[in-house]
Amino acid sequence: MIADVMGSQDQQELLGRIKTIVQKVGFDTFMVGLERRAEDGRIAHYVMSDYPQRWQQLYDQQGYAALDPTVAYCQKSRAPLVWSAEFFQKSKAGFMLEEARSYGLHHGVSLSVHDRFATKSMMSLVRDQDLTKSATESAYLLNCAQVISACVHQVAHQLLETNQKKQQSTLTARESECLQWIAVGKSTPEISDILNVSEPTVAFHVKNLMRKLDVHTRPQALAKAMRMGLIG
């Protein structure tokens, strides 16, 4: 199964193969986040998850990534983090664990990989049962989680790089600029002022980039661009 994960050719295939191996070893759901610094200094993000859709929407809408203590932990440490009420209560987002549990995310472990290519990844694997009930089972699950996260990091890094090159060659420079300004909340008139072009010109570029990304709204464009690593 590890070989299947390593042989994934695109994000959808990788998502399905991770789901298979994660469930095979004893977890239920997972999330993968990748952060890569490009040559121009911009940071691109790439996210995959089979968490409940309603939780993913809430997490994005509330900006929980900036509050999530597991994210902050994985930015600094490579040691596995087994979720606990005590850990969350020490942070400013102690409510998040109970809220996640209300969406079916009960017990989890989060791990990170930092490589020499200026790429960091974080993977959380979640299940209904406590990870710490049995020392033997806990050791097995943590070992599996570390192996899976290392493999996923390598494949996701390659896919992110491929997606960036493919989409950057598809989007024009002006379309990419508009996308970056949309990502920080700028409106069409504001982008028009920043780029010193007319509002119809901005609307034209935005319409084209949404067509190329195969989306219909700006929020959809941002969500897809983030998954593809196009937003710094």
Is the per-residue pLDDT at 38 higher than 70?
no
Return the minimum-mean-pLDDT range out of 36-45, 125-134, 139-148: 36-45
pLDDT at 71 over 70: yes
Res. 114: pLDDT tops 60 = yes
Q: What is the pTM of this model?
A: 0.70
120 in Cβ contact with 34 (< 8 Å): yes
Q: Which two tokens stand for residue 82?
A: 């087994």
Quickly count: other Cβ atoms within 10 Å of residue 105's Cβ: 22
Give residue 119's pLDDT band: very low, low, confident or very high (50, 70, 90): confident
Which own/partner contact pairs does 125-134 have at CB distance under 8 Å and 24+ positions apart? Answer: 125/22, 125/27, 125/29, 125/30, 126/27, 126/28, 126/29, 126/30, 126/31, 126/51, 127/26, 127/27, 127/28, 127/29, 128/28, 128/104, 131/82, 131/107, 132/82
Share of the chain above pLDDT 90, in %: 50
Same fold, 2-158 and 171-227: no
Task: Compute the average pLDDT of residues 60-69.
Answer: 89
Structural class in CATH, domain 2-158: alpha beta
Choice among 121-125, 162-166, 214-218 with the minimum mean pLDDT: 162-166
Residue 163 has pLDDT above 70, yes or no: no
Residue type, 62: Q
When the candidates are 1.10.3430.10, 3.40.50.300, 1.10.10.10, 3.30.360.10, the CATH number that belongs to 171-227 is: 1.10.10.10
The full set of domain ranges for the chain reads 2-158, 171-227
* Angle (CA) 126 128 129, round 5°: 105
Q: What is the pLDDT of residue 95?
A: 92
- CA 152 – CA 6 distance, rounded (Å): 7
